[in-house]
Structure 1
Amino acid sequence: MNELEQLRQRVGALEAAREVSGCMHEYMQLCDYLDEGFDLDPLMELFTEDAIWEGKGKRYAATFGRREGCAAIRAMFAKYTLPPAHFALNVHFLTSEKVEVHSETEAAGTWVLLQTATFADGRSQLSSALLSVAFRREKGRWKISRFCTTSRFNRPVQSPWDCPQPLPVPKE
């Protein structure tokens, strides 16, 4: 393989890694707004038809279980779109990203997730999970083919995350 071809492959892998990262960003951003009446189509377009979504570990295996196929994953998310609303506020933060591109059609990544949620009933929680996600390129777009989330910790928080008081700023 000549130097130009090696360079093309390296640039292709970098672009693929960036697109995979973008897919995860879009997934988390959509999950931030998962609420009553939410349109699930944009979220479901991020998954392959044969995707697997799985909670792992003692807590998440029991809470979320394993969903096989896009229809089963949609059914899981659909519960969050029915009245009454589940979340009053939900924000996902991703860190410690590591993306590996295995081929032109296969990639995988890991992230550490921090989630701040206030539920409709007023309770709040801070959660962290390790995400291990496989991706497959279909019709020119990277999609999630396997999503695994393993709980690291979950902790109740005594007050809602969003406080309505004005922000403290220096006086003029």
Structure 2
Amino acid sequence: MRVTAGEKTSVTGLESRLQSLEATDSVRWVMARYMELCDVPQPDVDLAELGDLFTLDATWEGVGVDYSKKFGRHTGRESILRMLTGRLPAGPLLANAHLLGEGRINVQGSIATGSWIMHQISHTEAEGVHCAVARVKAAFDLSETSARIKAFSTERLFTADTQLPGLRSEHPNT
């Protein structure tokens, strides 16, 4: 949000800037909580909380050659939850951690958009320990008390082989 010098000190300008800061903070919290809820292991994944981070008509999709095949496109909160829970405990992941970069967030009225670089370190029986770097883009509905994800996409940028001599993976599930 860009404001002129006069708008910076007017009551309306200050209110607008405060709303933008609060919206940006809400977007950051939602993205961090989403990533945290997708980490494995967790004692119990709160599916209601995970679902509540999305609008009812949200979309979630993998984009690019690799992720469009791996993840596909899911429309609607229930469809997104089914896909995500298939990958969480009892799914293929033994351990999984998301590291989200600072990102950029743009607030325009009741919509916010953002872009982040995400590092994901995971362990599966099939692939062993795996490191992926992806670009995550999301749009958020700000019309309620907190931001909700309206559209989410992830695109693989690259992966790294972590099967180096002497590397050992330890986590509570093995």
TM-score, scaled relative to structure 2: 0.83
**1:55 partner SS:** strand
Given candidates 80, 88, 94, the residue that maps to 2:87 is: 80
**Which residue does the alignment assign to 1:98?**
104
Secondary structure of the 2:68 match is helix
Count matched residues: 162
**4+ runs of 1 displaced by more than 4 Å?**
34-37
Pair 1:48 & 2:75 matched: no
Aligned partner of 1:4 in structure 2 is 11
Superposed displacement of residue 35, structure 1: 6.3
Partner of 1:169: none
Alpha-carbon displacement from aligned partner over 1:18-50 (angstroms, at most 9, x marks no partner): 110110000001011366963322111100000
Paired letter, 1:157: T
CA distance in 1, matches of 2:41, 2:152: 17
Is the contact made by 1:53 and 1:66 (CA closer than 8 Å) also made in structure 2? yes
Are residues 156 and 36 of structure 1, via their aligned partners in 2, closer, same or farther at CA, if it must alter by over 3 Å? farther
Aligned-residue Cα RMSD (Å) equals 2.4
User: CA 1:163–1:106 in structure 2 vs 1: closer, same or farther (change >3 Å)?
Assistant: closer
Residue 25 of structure 1: which of 20, 28, 32 is its match? Answer: 32
- Does the aligned pair in 1 maintain the 2:41–2:94 contact within 8 Å? no
Q: What residue number does 1:118 align with?
A: 123
Partner of 1:61: 68
Q: Aligned residues: percent identity?
A: 30
| Alpha-carbon distance change, 163 to 142 in structure 1, aligned in 2, over 3 angstroms | closer
- Structure 2 residue matching 1:115: 3-state secondary structure: strand
SS in 1 for 2:11: helix
Q: Paired residue for 1:136?
A: 141
For 2:129 and 2:41, locate their aligned partners in 1 and report how far apart those are by CA, in whole Å: 16
